[in-house]
Amino acid sequence: MKKGRLIIISAPSGTGKTTVIKHFLSTHNDTIHSVSCTTRPMRNGETNGKDYHFISKEEFKTGINNGMFAEWATVHNHLYGTPKQPLENALQDGKEVLLDLDVIGGLKLKGLYKEKAISFFLIPPTMDELKTRLFHRGTDTKEVQQLRLKNALVEMKYKDKFDYQVINDVLENACKEIERILHLT
Protein backbone atom coordinates (compact mmCIF):
# COMPACT_ATOMS: atom_id res chain seq x y z
CA MET A 1 0.00 0.00 0.00
CA LYS A 2 1.18 3.50 -0.84
CA LYS A 3 2.35 5.52 2.14
CA GLY A 4 0.15 8.53 2.90
CA ARG A 5 1.60 11.98 3.38
CA LEU A 6 0.59 15.53 4.09
CA ILE A 7 1.64 18.23 1.63
CA ILE A 8 1.61 21.50 3.56
CA ILE A 9 1.57 24.75 1.63
CA SER A 10 1.92 27.92 3.67
CA ALA A 11 2.47 31.54 2.73
CA PRO A 12 1.61 35.05 3.74
CA SER A 13 -1.72 36.41 2.47
CA GLY A 14 -1.50 37.60 -1.12
CA THR A 15 1.25 35.20 -2.17
CA GLY A 16 -1.14 33.18 -4.34
CA LYS A 17 -1.41 30.12 -2.12
CA THR A 18 -5.04 29.42 -2.99
CA THR A 19 -4.38 29.85 -6.73
CA VAL A 20 -1.39 27.47 -6.60
CA ILE A 21 -3.40 24.89 -4.65
CA LYS A 22 -6.39 25.03 -7.03
CA HIS A 23 -4.10 24.63 -10.03
CA PHE A 24 -2.20 21.76 -8.39
CA LEU A 25 -5.42 19.94 -7.47
CA SER A 26 -6.78 20.35 -11.00
CA THR A 27 -3.86 18.30 -12.32
CA HIS A 28 -3.60 15.79 -9.44
CA ASN A 29 -6.95 14.04 -9.09
CA ASP A 30 -5.56 11.52 -6.61
CA THR A 31 -4.63 14.25 -4.08
CA ILE A 32 -7.19 15.13 -1.40
CA HIS A 33 -7.69 18.74 -0.35
CA SER A 34 -8.05 19.24 3.39
CA VAL A 35 -10.89 21.66 4.10
CA SER A 36 -10.19 23.81 7.14
CA CYS A 37 -12.72 25.29 9.53
CA THR A 38 -12.92 29.04 10.05
CA THR A 39 -14.96 31.63 11.89
CA ARG A 40 -14.36 34.31 9.25
CA PRO A 41 -17.26 35.37 7.02
CA MET A 42 -17.68 33.63 3.68
CA ARG A 43 -16.40 35.64 0.69
CA ASN A 44 -18.16 35.96 -2.65
CA GLY A 45 -17.64 32.83 -4.71
CA GLU A 46 -16.78 30.59 -1.75
CA THR A 47 -18.73 27.45 -0.94
CA ASN A 48 -19.24 26.10 2.56
CA GLY A 49 -17.67 22.64 2.82
CA LYS A 50 -15.54 23.16 -0.30
CA ASP A 51 -13.44 26.23 0.42
CA TYR A 52 -13.85 26.14 4.21
CA HIS A 53 -16.24 24.85 6.81
CA PHE A 54 -17.67 28.17 8.00
CA ILE A 55 -18.65 27.79 11.65
CA SER A 56 -19.43 30.04 14.59
CA LYS A 57 -16.92 30.91 17.32
CA GLU A 58 -18.95 28.80 19.73
CA GLU A 59 -18.80 25.76 17.44
CA PHE A 60 -15.08 26.30 16.95
CA LYS A 61 -14.41 26.54 20.69
CA THR A 62 -16.42 23.35 21.27
CA GLY A 63 -14.25 21.68 18.61
CA ILE A 64 -11.09 22.81 20.41
CA ASN A 65 -12.37 21.43 23.71
CA ASN A 66 -13.30 18.11 22.07
CA GLY A 67 -9.87 17.68 20.39
CA MET A 68 -11.37 18.02 16.91
CA PHE A 69 -8.44 19.95 15.42
CA ALA A 70 -4.94 18.75 14.55
CA GLU A 71 -3.96 22.43 14.72
CA TRP A 72 -5.74 25.72 15.12
CA ALA A 73 -4.80 29.38 15.36
CA THR A 74 -6.13 32.90 15.37
CA VAL A 75 -5.24 34.53 12.05
CA HIS A 76 -6.27 38.07 11.09
CA ASN A 77 -8.68 38.10 14.05
CA HIS A 78 -10.49 34.89 13.02
CA LEU A 79 -10.10 31.27 14.12
CA TYR A 80 -8.83 28.69 11.61
CA GLY A 81 -8.34 24.98 12.25
CA THR A 82 -7.60 21.68 10.52
CA PRO A 83 -9.98 18.84 11.41
CA LYS A 84 -7.89 15.91 12.66
CA GLN A 85 -9.99 12.87 11.69
CA PRO A 86 -9.94 13.37 7.88
CA LEU A 87 -6.13 13.64 8.01
CA GLU A 88 -5.79 10.47 10.04
CA ASN A 89 -8.17 8.57 7.72
CA ALA A 90 -6.35 9.72 4.57
CA LEU A 91 -2.92 8.82 5.94
CA GLN A 92 -4.18 5.40 7.00
CA ASP A 93 -5.58 4.88 3.49
CA GLY A 94 -2.25 5.85 1.86
CA LYS A 95 -3.57 9.10 0.38
CA GLU A 96 -1.77 12.37 -0.19
CA VAL A 97 -3.49 15.34 1.44
CA LEU A 98 -2.84 18.91 0.36
CA LEU A 99 -3.23 21.50 3.12
CA ASP A 100 -3.61 25.25 2.70
CA LEU A 101 -2.37 26.59 6.03
CA ASP A 102 -1.22 29.82 7.60
CA VAL A 103 2.46 29.84 8.53
CA ILE A 104 1.99 28.94 12.21
CA GLY A 105 -0.51 26.18 11.39
CA GLY A 106 1.85 24.75 8.79
CA LEU A 107 4.67 24.57 11.29
CA LYS A 108 2.43 23.01 13.94
CA LEU A 109 1.32 20.24 11.57
CA LYS A 110 4.86 19.61 10.35
CA GLY A 111 5.93 19.22 13.97
CA LEU A 112 3.02 16.92 14.75
CA TYR A 113 3.28 14.64 11.68
CA LYS A 114 7.07 14.90 11.15
CA GLU A 115 8.18 12.48 8.38
CA LYS A 116 4.57 12.01 7.21
CA ALA A 117 4.52 15.67 6.14
CA ILE A 118 6.42 17.78 3.62
CA SER A 119 6.17 21.55 3.97
CA PHE A 120 6.39 24.30 1.36
CA PHE A 121 6.60 28.03 1.92
CA LEU A 122 5.45 30.12 -1.03
CA ILE A 123 7.36 33.35 -1.47
CA PRO A 124 6.08 36.36 -3.42
CA PRO A 125 8.37 37.56 -6.23
CA THR A 126 8.90 40.83 -4.31
CA MET A 127 7.34 42.54 -1.32
CA ASP A 128 6.06 45.28 -3.66
CA GLU A 129 4.25 42.60 -5.69
CA LEU A 130 2.78 41.15 -2.48
CA LYS A 131 1.45 44.58 -1.52
CA THR A 132 -0.06 45.02 -4.98
CA ARG A 133 -1.74 41.60 -4.82
CA LEU A 134 -3.16 42.27 -1.35
CA PHE A 135 -4.53 45.68 -2.23
CA HIS A 136 -5.99 44.75 -5.61
CA ARG A 137 -7.77 41.49 -4.86
CA GLY A 138 -10.81 43.39 -3.62
CA THR A 139 -11.85 41.01 -0.83
CA ASP A 140 -10.85 43.05 2.21
CA THR A 141 -11.31 46.48 3.75
CA LYS A 142 -8.33 48.86 3.91
CA GLU A 143 -7.88 48.01 7.58
CA VAL A 144 -7.78 44.27 6.87
CA GLN A 145 -5.38 44.85 3.95
CA GLN A 146 -3.02 46.72 6.28
CA LEU A 147 -3.29 43.96 8.90
CA ARG A 148 -2.54 41.28 6.29
CA LEU A 149 0.49 43.23 5.03
CA LYS A 150 1.79 43.72 8.57
CA ASN A 151 1.30 40.00 9.30
CA ALA A 152 2.96 39.04 5.99
CA LEU A 153 6.14 40.85 6.99
CA VAL A 154 6.25 38.82 10.22
CA GLU A 155 5.36 35.54 8.47
CA MET A 156 8.20 35.92 5.95
CA LYS A 157 10.63 35.47 8.86
CA TYR A 158 9.49 31.83 9.19
CA LYS A 159 10.32 30.75 5.62
CA ASP A 160 13.53 28.94 6.62
CA LYS A 161 11.60 26.67 9.02
CA PHE A 162 9.84 24.94 6.09
CA ASP A 163 11.28 22.03 4.13
CA TYR A 164 11.19 23.91 0.81
CA GLN A 165 10.70 27.46 -0.43
CA VAL A 166 9.08 28.13 -3.78
CA ILE A 167 8.84 31.54 -5.41
CA ASN A 168 5.36 32.11 -6.83
CA ASP A 169 6.10 34.47 -9.69
CA VAL A 170 4.56 32.41 -12.51
CA LEU A 171 1.80 29.99 -11.48
CA GLU A 172 2.84 27.11 -13.74
CA ASN A 173 6.48 27.39 -12.68
CA ALA A 174 5.60 27.31 -8.97
CA CYS A 175 3.40 24.23 -9.47
CA LYS A 176 6.06 22.45 -11.53
CA GLU A 177 8.65 23.13 -8.82
CA ILE A 178 6.35 21.66 -6.15
CA GLU A 179 5.73 18.60 -8.37
CA ARG A 180 9.47 18.18 -8.97
CA ILE A 181 10.20 18.23 -5.24
CA LEU A 182 7.35 15.84 -4.44
CA HIS A 183 8.68 13.29 -6.96
CA LEU A 184 12.14 13.49 -5.35
CA THR A 185 10.88 12.87 -1.80
For residue 100, how far is the Cα from the chain centroid? Answer: 2
- Would you state the pLDDT for residue 57? 97
Task: Kindly report whether the global pTM for this prediction surpasses the value 0.85.
Answer: yes
- Would you state the pLDDT for residue 48? 96
CATH of 5-184, one of 3.40.50.300, 3.40.50.920, 3.40.50.2300, 3.30.210.10: 3.40.50.300
- Would you state the pLDDT for residue 16? 87
- Would you state the pLDDT for residue 1? 61
Q: Which amino acid is at 68?
A: M
Rounded to the nearest 10°, the torsion over CA 46, 51, 56, 57 is -120
DSSP 2-52: PPPEEEEEE--TTS-HHHHHHHHHHH-TTEEEP--EE-SPPPTT--BTTTB
Contact status, residue 23 vs residue 9, Cβ threshold 8 Å = no
Reported as a single tens digit per residue, the pLDDT across 4-21 is 999 999 998 888 898 999
- Would you state the pLDDT for residue 133? 76
d(CA 74, CA 103): 11
CA angle 110, 163, 168 (to 5 degrees): 110
- Would you state the pLDDT for residue 126? 85
Per-residue pLDDT of the chain (185 residues; tens, 9 = 90+): 678 999 999 998 888 898 999 999 999 988 999 999 999 999 888 999 998 999 999 999 999 999 999 999 888 789 999 999 999 999 999 999 999 998 989 999 999 999 999 999 999 988 888 888 777 766 778 888 788 888 888 999 999 999 999 999 999 999 999 999 998 76
